Structure 1
Amino acid sequence: MSESRHSSAELLESARAGDKQALEELLARHQSQIYRFGMKMCRDPEDAKDVLQDTLVAMARGLRDFQGASSLSTWLYSVARSFCLKKRRKSKHAPSSSPRSLESDSSPAASVVDEGKLPDEVLASKQVEQALEEAIAELEPSYREVLVLRDVEGLRAAEVAEILGIGIPAVKSRLHRARLALRARVAPSLGISPQATSPTPACPDVLELFSHHLEGEISADVCARMERHVEACERCRTACDSLKRTLSLCRSSATTNVPRHVQESVRRALDEVLAGQATPR
């Protein structure tokens, strides 16, 4: 199928009016993001397939009743999250030990450095991708979902808050903790040792400040002071660079393709739903 020139809003309007092709285009347009979210939250391909199928079926069934108070993406993430929570409660493959708490996590990340490569080569390697996925998976679910929605999927903090049913300050608090924990675990794979980013007693908490800066939570004066310090302090400059690179990796990971066998399975389920909707009552 060729790429549609219609906006999502136009497709949504047509789909709500009963246009099957518009609905199918909407489903195809959103399947990758839902599957990616399911993979990162459930950490199991079969569970992610079920989350994708259940979410798209719910979309097909409920689209005519969708009032548009939220964006379609926000609604779909909310639905997908509810299915992920059910999977988490019912999963027979839950890890034997709980993810480490960010409240007391001070252990360094496991090093996956390939000493024979330069940092830029390591950054482009599969090692770094694997390290990122493992680091995200190690986060507690409440922190992982905030980081995935904000830094992988690129949603605004207000949208994340709506999906999770919490306040924006709570979203940002979890996000800052998740970002710093993720950076600590991924840094070795970027060729950055803990010693290279250990601040001196005189150094401000530049990582925390930088994360707050990304959310527009520090003043211009504080930002300027931080920039001057980072320019003069190699350790803090390296630390900030490692956080920037980690978040860049998060954004670049938002390119998941749904496997063909998953698409076919979901398509069969959707065809049954659409056929049932077309049957006169």
Structure 2
Amino acid sequence: MSTRTDEQLMEAARAGDDKALDEVLARHEKQVYRFGLRMCGSEEDAKEVLQETLLAAFRGIHTFRGDAELSTWLYQVARTHCLRLRRKRVGAPEEFQPLDSSPATRVAAEESTPDMVSHARQMGEMLQAAILALPEAHREVLILRDVEGLPAEEAAKVVGIEVRALKSRLHRARLQLREHLSTLMGEGAQEQAPPCPELARELSGFAAREVDQATCVRLEDHLSRCPRCADACDSLKRTVSLCRRIPGDAVPAPVRAAVRQALSQATRP
């Protein structure tokens, strides 16, 4: 691997050095893919974002003037393609990937036991579900700052906002993420009021079915109109609300488990 900087490689690429172009793009390939995976929620979309980003970089190599870091420019291009892709697909990823599932983020650890690997995977799935439940504007600043580790100034350039606005948005994103994780982990559950017989009756066959968005819609409808549940079932309401924030029809495993647990508590005699 060359020891040349991005700037030196870009200068060589603009002069017609194809190997320099390949090297500088390969240097940033993993981070662009990782960004697409965490923003879009599926490997298929992440691969498409990566392909479009590298193609745009290849085509725009001679127009890149170096006013910003190359990584900033690539994130901007990737962000544009990811937003366009999500609008086209109406925000419906076909499957949800845990943060540690991608080859771009997997790091071998020989000393890890099966239990440690399983726990890490569960925590990764939970974190990914919590991130995906964030509004898109909050999700992207949290990924850029807390996951990718970009400085505030660079992250603000990628998103196209002032640093002060980015910090404010990031603060709200962190608070929301904490709330989502607390809900998924079942923390802060309060004593429930007497169980709702209507809810128990309507969902008597629930345990045999998979939790999907239709289930969450049904639960949300009941919670909105049931006087008994209006001041009770707090844990269930928080969990269903989180479920409804997940884009698309699929519901990640940690959210399904949280809905089941909260429903069990709400209908327990």
TM bucket normalised to smaller = 0.5 to 0.7
- The answer on whether the counterparts of 1:41 and 1:144 sit within 8 Å (CA) in structure 2 is yes
* Secondary structure at 1:166 match in 2: coil
Match of residue 83 from structure 1: 81
Once the two structures are superposed, the pairs formed by residues 99-110 of structure 1 within 5 Å of their partners are none
For the structure 1 residues 123 and 132, does the alpha-carbon distance in structure 2 shift closer, same or farther, using more than 3 Å as the test? Answer: farther
Give 1:172 shift. 0.7
Distance 2:121 2:157 in 1: 34
**2:5 aligned to 4, 7, 10, which one?**
7
Between the two proteins, the alignment pairs up a number of residues equal to: 168
Once the two structures are superposed, the pairs formed by residues 186-225 of structure 1 within 5 Å of their partners are 186-187=181-182, 193-194=187-188
Higher normalized contact order (CA 8 Å, seq sep 6+, divided by chain length)? 1
Match of residue 182 from structure 1: 177
In structure 1, the gaps of 5 or more residues are 96-119, 196-281
For the structure 1 residues 59 and 130, does the alpha-carbon distance in structure 2 shift closer, same or farther, using more than 3 Å as the test? Answer: same
Give 1:145 shift. 0.2
Distance 2:121 2:42 in 1: 19
**1:39 aligned to 37, 46, 56, which one?**
37
Report the residue type matching 1:46 in the other structure: E
Distance 1:148 1:55 in 2: 18
**1:125 aligned to 120, 128, 135, which one?**
120
Once the two structures are superposed, the pairs formed by residues 227-266 of structure 1 within 5 Å of their partners are none
Give 1:126 shift. 1.3
Distance 1:22 1:6 in 2: 9
**2:19 aligned to 18, 21, 24, which one?**
21
Give 1:188 shift. 7.0
Match of residue 167 from structure 1: 162
- The answer on whether the counterparts of 1:122 and 1:128 sit within 8 Å (CA) in structure 2 is no
User: 1:67-121 deviations in whole A, cap 9, x for unaligned?
Assistant: 11111011111111111111121115637xxxxxxxxxxxxxxxxxxxxxxxx96
Distance 1:167 1:45 in 2: 31
Distance 1:74 1:14 in 2: 20
Give 1:35 shift. 0.8
Give 1:31 shift. 0.9
For the structure 1 residues 53 and 122, does the alpha-carbon distance in structure 2 shift closer, same or farther, using more than 3 Å as the test? Answer: closer
CA-atom RMSD, angstroms? 2.4
* Secondary structure at 1:125 match in 2: helix
Give 1:173 shift. 0.9
**Identity across matched positions, percent:** 52
**2:56 aligned to 52, 55, 58, which one?**
58
Instruction: Give every structure 1 segment of 4 or more consecutive aligned residues whose post-TM-superposition deviation is greater than 3 Å.
Output: 120-124, 191-195
- The answer on whether the counterparts of 1:34 and 1:77 sit within 8 Å (CA) in structure 2 is yes
For the structure 1 residues 124 and 14, does the alpha-carbon distance in structure 2 shift closer, same or farther, using more than 3 Å as the test? Answer: farther
For the structure 1 residues 184 and 92, does the alpha-carbon distance in structure 2 shift closer, same or farther, using more than 3 Å as the test? Answer: closer
* Secondary structure at 2:60 match in 1: helix
User: 1:33-91 deviations in whole A, cap 9, x for unaligned?
Assistant: 11111111111222211111111011011111111111101111111111111112111
TM-score w.r.t. the length of structure 1 is 0.55
User: 1:213-238 deviations in whole A, cap 9, x for unaligned?
Assistant: xxxxxxxxxxxxxxxxxxxxxxxxxx
Give 1:124 shift. 5.1
Give 1:183 shift. 2.3
- The answer on whether the counterparts of 1:137 and 1:144 sit within 8 Å (CA) in structure 2 is yes
Distance 1:80 1:30 in 2: 12
Q: Does 1:158 align with 2:149?
A: no
**1:144 aligned to 121, 129, 139, which one?**
139
